[in-house]
């Protein structure tokens, strides 16, 4: 049985096609989902891609969180559906309160685009089980509002519960608190990260294939759950 992973397209999404391709390269069946629909078309997992949903008006992800499709995503995520939010998708997850904290303007006030070194801090989520804790990977990063912030109590909680998924290496690119590049919810099925693993799944177009593990991890998680 083929594992179906849906990718939501919002107005302003840029990396939805890349995410669909990453699912296919990993061995899954990519399913395009439209923001105005409430049905997830019986997918086994969902990816919220990068871009500028609704033009990033108000705050990044603030309008997308009210899309009809997000009502279903939030409901099913709380019931255990694996959901990955990449860059703008991470912002949508925070705005939807599936993940704590927020993403703010880069502290240097410039857009950053570079191949980013990362350390995997949690290798037991639905989206990271194909990595090992402490593993170093390199995937592209591109954002203008990628600084992860939260109050000290929340940051301490994320640290204590092992919910920091990725940390920046080689310099903090955007002012994220405690070098946090990605986090997970308590159950480990919802993950948000600012870097773009979907741009590092093939040697032809990516600096590495280090990002492929996010998608193969989800496939293995779903197969094991059957």
Instruction: Give me the active site residues, please.
Output: 87, 196, 198
Task: Tell me which residue has tokens 């890349």.
Answer: 18
Phi and psi at 33, nearest 5°, equal: -120, 140
Long-range contacts of 62-67 (CB under 8 A, 24+ apart): 62/95, 64/10, 64/35, 64/88, 64/92, 64/95, 65/92, 65/95, 65/96, 67/8, 67/10, 67/35, 67/36
């Amino acid at each position: 049985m083929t594992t179906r992973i849906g990718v939501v397209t919002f107005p302003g999404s840029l990396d939805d096609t890349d995410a669909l391709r990453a699912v296919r390269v990993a061995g899954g069946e990519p399913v395009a989902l439209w923001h105005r629909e409430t049905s997830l078309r019986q997918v086994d997992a969902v990816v919220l891609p990068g871009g500028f949903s609704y033009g990033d008006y108000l705050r990044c992800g603030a309008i997308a969180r009210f899309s009809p499709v997000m009502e279903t995503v939030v409901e099913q995520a709380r019931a255990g559906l694996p959901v990955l939010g990449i860059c703008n998708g991470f912002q949508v997850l925070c705005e939807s309160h599936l993940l704590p904290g927020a993403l703010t303007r880069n502290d240097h006030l410039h857009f950053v685009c570079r191949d980013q070194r990362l350390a995997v801090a949690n290798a037991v989520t639905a989206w990271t089980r194909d990595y090992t804790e402490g593993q170093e990977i390199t995937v592209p990063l591109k954002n203008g509002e990628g600084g992860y912030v939260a109050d000290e109590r929340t940051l301490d909680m994320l640290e204590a519960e092992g919910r920091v998924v990725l940390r920046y290496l080689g310099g903090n690119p955007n002012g994220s608190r405690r070098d946090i590049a990605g986090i997970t919810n308590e159950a480990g099925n919802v993950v948000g990260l600012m870097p773009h693993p979907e741009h590092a799944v093939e040697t032809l177009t990516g600096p590495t294939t280090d990002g492929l593990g996010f998608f193969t991890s989800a496939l293995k998680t779903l197969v094991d759950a059957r």
